[in-house]
Each structure stands twice: as structure tokens, then as C-alpha cells.
Amino acid sequence: MPTARLRIAYDGSRFAGWADQPGQRTVQAELESGLERILGERIDLTVAGRTDAGVHATGQVASFEYGRELPDRPAERLNAVLPRDLAVLEAAPAADGFDARRSAKARVYRYRVLTSTVRDPLEERRALWWRYPVDRDLLDAAAAAVVGNHDFTAFTPTQTEHVLFERTVDACAWEAERDGVLALRIEALSFMRNQVRVLVGTMLEVGGGRRSLEELTALLNGAPRDAAGETAPPHGLYLTEVKY
């Protein structure tokens, strides 16, 4: 059967995450329902990254097999039946054998932090409001320490489906988006649940002088979860790109 590829964006605020869950509003369920309406057949989506409740996406990728011919302008037709907080940016046939999850070479996440003593209502569901002082040099050093292959046991929940805790982070750096807004860009082949959010929470402790850089580095050797920092809230996190 032929395969199609979707590039997707969504505001995760009112979704219970990507994955279909009985009785919950999810991105997967909304998309599969919309696809069934325009294609006339049941569709099962494979996704590059299963985002949690409240997490946003600007470059999520999903794939599916289909038996009937795709209509003209499939993205436009699909967006006409999707809710306002979910959109398909691109929809097109994919190469034989393409799988949104297994074919991925890297996933890129971005975590946005509003570093201001005054909250910004326009960033209320878009960035973590961090009213405390942060040392940008310490944040940069913390991000640099994360690059490479490490045991990230300290950065995922204790009760987890993961068996292997080593991950290789290809890139990790803080960037200034605009005055008062910093964003952590992090890239790896795969991430564990909450990994980016716990890294952000721990890095903010380093940037605020509550934890040393050496303490963060020691966490990368398989320390227990309770040794790391708080899990940053989901609304600052975005899946921005999947590389193939």
C-alpha cells in the first residue's frame, strides 16, 4: 500500500497529548477522524514523537498507509475539518518504506522561557515564566555539558517503560529569541519521557546559582531521578523539527 507523510502543527494546551486515549481529546484521534472523513477509510497514524499533554508542535511528522487515491490539495481539505488548534502544514505521498518514527534521523525540541519579573499574557501558554535571576553564561555551560552520550536516568520518571537510559545528544544550546525570552534548542535521535523538561528545570537551577555545573555533570552518569531538578511545565516545550 502507498504511504503518505504529514507535517503537523498544534497548540497542545487543550490536548491530552498525541497518543489516542479513551475519553480524552488527543491529536492522534482528531487527525485520524479528519483523515477518515476526507479519505473514506479508517487510518492508523505513525508519529515521529509522541508529545505529552500540553506540549506544542510546529514540525511534527506522521505517516500512514492508504488504499484510496489522495484527493487534490489534501492538506487544505484536511484542515477544513480539523479544529482550530491543529493544522496540517504539508501532506503528500512518501517514498516506499517511509515510516515517520523509524525513518527519523533526529528530533529537535525547543523549550521557551520568559525571563522577566513581569509576566507576559501573550506568553501565558507559550513559555515558562521564570521571574528569578539567571546567569546566561552558566546556562550556556550547562547546555554544553549535555552534548554527547550520557546516562539520563536522572532526567526521566522513575516509573518508566524505558529499559535503556543512554542517549546521545547531538546539539544543545540556549538562544535569545527576543528581549526577555530564552529558548533551549536540543537535538537527538530520541528522547525519554520528560527528558527535555527535567533538563530545563535542572539547568535553570544552575543558572540561578542553586546547583553547580559540576553537580549537573555528575547527574549525567546515571544518578537517580530525585537527584535532578524539577520537571519544567509542558507549555514551554515544542517539537519543532524531525530530520530524515
For residue range 100-151, what is the model confidence (pLDDT) as tens digits? Answer: 999 999 999 999 999 999 999 999 999 999 999 999 999 999 999 999 999 9
Average pLDDT, the chain: 96
For residue range 82-100, what is the model confidence (pLDDT) as tens digits? Answer: 999 999 999 999 999 999 9
Q: pLDDT at position 50, please?
A: 96
- The C-alpha atoms of residue 57 and residue 237 are separated, in whole angstroms, by 8
- The C-alpha atoms of residue 78 and residue 71 are separated, in whole angstroms, by 10
Which of 11, 20, 44, 52 is the catalytic position? 52
CB distance 223 to 154 below 8 Å? yes
| CB environment 89-101: b (16+ within 10 A), e (fewer) | eebeebeeebebb
Q: pLDDT at position 124, please?
A: 94
pLDDT band at 159 (very low <50, low <70, confident <90, very high): confident
Q: pLDDT at position 56, please?
A: 98
pLDDT band at 162 (very low <50, low <70, confident <90, very high): low
For residue range 27-81, what is the model confidence (pLDDT) as tens digits? Answer: 999 999 999 999 999 999 999 999 999 999 999 999 999 998 899 999 999 999 9
For residue range 171-220, what is the model confidence (pLDDT) as tens digits? Answer: 999 999 988 999 999 999 999 999 999 999 999 999 999 999 999 999 99
Active site (annotated) includes residue 52 = yes
- The C-alpha atoms of residue 118 and residue 124 are separated, in whole angstroms, by 12
